[in-house]
Amino acid sequence: MHGEYKVPGGKLVVVDLDVEGGALRNTRVAGDFFLEPDEALDAINGALNGAPADTDAPGLAARIDAALPEGTVMYGLTSDGIGIAVRRALAHATDWTDYDWQLIHEGPQPPALHMALDEVLTQEVAAGRRPPTLRVWEWASPSVIIGSFQSLANEVDPEGAARHGIDVVRRISGGGAMFVEPGNTITYSLSVPDALVQGLSFQDSYAYLDDWVLGALADMGIKAWYQPLNDIATDAGKIAGAAQKRTVAPGGGPGAVLHHVTMSYDIDADKMLEVLRIGKEKLSDKGTRSAKKRVDPLRRQTGLPREAVIERMIDSFRGRYGLAEGKVTEEEMARAKQLVRTKFTTAEWTARVP
């Protein structure tokens, strides 16, 4: 069995192993990490050999930590990362490069249609009718997008939204509210087979699926990192938030994961405060006193036009994993438009948590 895992902010860990009698055997850890002393690698392999095959990643990490020679130094490598690589091997997880990725980047579309496209495209990936897809959104109008489980009344000021002509829609994933204006936001979705995140905890899957964009930001001179559970942050502040939704294939087979991210390119913080009800508890949790300090726009950090930032992000993804131009099919679009009518523009859905 073979498993790979890139430690967030670190290096690639590769594990090959066998399972005999319900235990790990012939475990071989490798990668482009740095490790001192040399004997530490033998200690790691020895700690893993004989471990019950159902040991979780933290349990495997504990075995490794207990076996490491005194003074061991790991650079680009963690015991947790090795444990995750083992779990991915046991789960027969796939890698990014195992797939032929498709890009969808079409013209501006209404917010409710974006919600519906996320659902339809991820269902198509789960059913095996669509390859893994990176979709970059363009917005036709301003909107507030609330999480699947958020209270509409608690999150949105209806008078402020009406005054600024801002529609409110609810997405299928959890997480917090997004304030969006065309030209001020960069949003993308990844619709991927469940196999890509096999062996990862829910939290680890966020870091794993965000890693490529951290590299893209680094290429633009921005040192960014994943901040649990679902933020991308820099020294200057938060720049993005992610959310996920898991789906199952027809008949209950292997499913797919929707992972979408909203990045603030620029922001009208005063308008946002008039539309969103941002409580003191939320601001305090972020360690700030004003919403203006909570989100740091990409425009100021990159000095690049929004279109250039998007182009560099796409180029970075393509350079890592390959990316073919694609489009929403006529059938997919028809299904999405039906969902707009029957779900995403209905009061029953938008106010399902009043």
- pLDDT, one tens digit per residue, over 299-313 is 999 999 999 999 999
Distance CA 192, CA 247 (A): 10
Helix (H, G, I), strand (E, B) or coil at 153: helix
Distance CA 267, CA 142 (A): 12
Whether the pTM exceeds 0.75: the reply is yes
CA-wise closest residue to 136 among 214, 80, 213: 213
Place of tokens 């073919």: 324
Give Cβ neighbours of residue 158 (< 8 Å, ≥ 6 apart). Answer: none
pLDDT of residue 292: 53
- Helices (H) and strands (E) counted in the chain, each on its own, are 13, 16
Residue 227 tokens read as 């901040």
b (16+ CB within 10 A) / e for 20-41: eeeebeebebebebebeeeebe
Q: What is the pLDDT of residues 175-215, one digit of tens each?
A: 999 999 999 999 999 999 999 999 999 999 999 999 999 99
Q: What is the pLDDT of residues 40-77, one digit of tens each?
A: 999 999 999 999 999 999 999 999 999 999 999 999 99
Q: Are the C-beta atoms of residues 344 and 170 closer than 8 Å to each other? A: yes
Distance CA 189, CA 336 (A): 15
pLDDT of residue 254: 79
pLDDT of residue 288: 43
Give Cβ neighbours of residue 162 (< 8 Å, ≥ 6 apart). Answer: none
- Indicate the pairing of strand 133-136 with strand 231-234: unpaired
Residue 76 tokens read as 């680009």
b (16+ CB within 10 A) / e for 208-222: bbbbbbbebbeebeb
Place of tokens 């055997």: 25
Place of tokens 């797919």: 256
Give, in order, the Cα–Cα distances in Å from 145 to each of 142, 169, 276: 10, 5, 10
pLDDT of residue 284: 46
Residues in the chain: 354
Q: What is the dihedral of CA 242, 313, 224, 240, to 10 degrees?
A: -30
Residue 139 tokens read as 């917005």
Q: Are the C-beta atoms of residues 43 and 119 closer than 8 Å to each other? A: no
pLDDT of residue 249: 75
Neighbours of 148 (CB within 10 A): 15
52 phi/psi in degrees, rounded to 5: -55, 140
Bridge partners of residue 145, in order along the sequence: 169, 178
Distance CA 266, CA 186 (A): 9
pLDDT of residue 240: 94
pLDDT of residue 282: 54
Give Cβ neighbours of residue 252 (< 8 Å, ≥ 6 apart). Answer: none
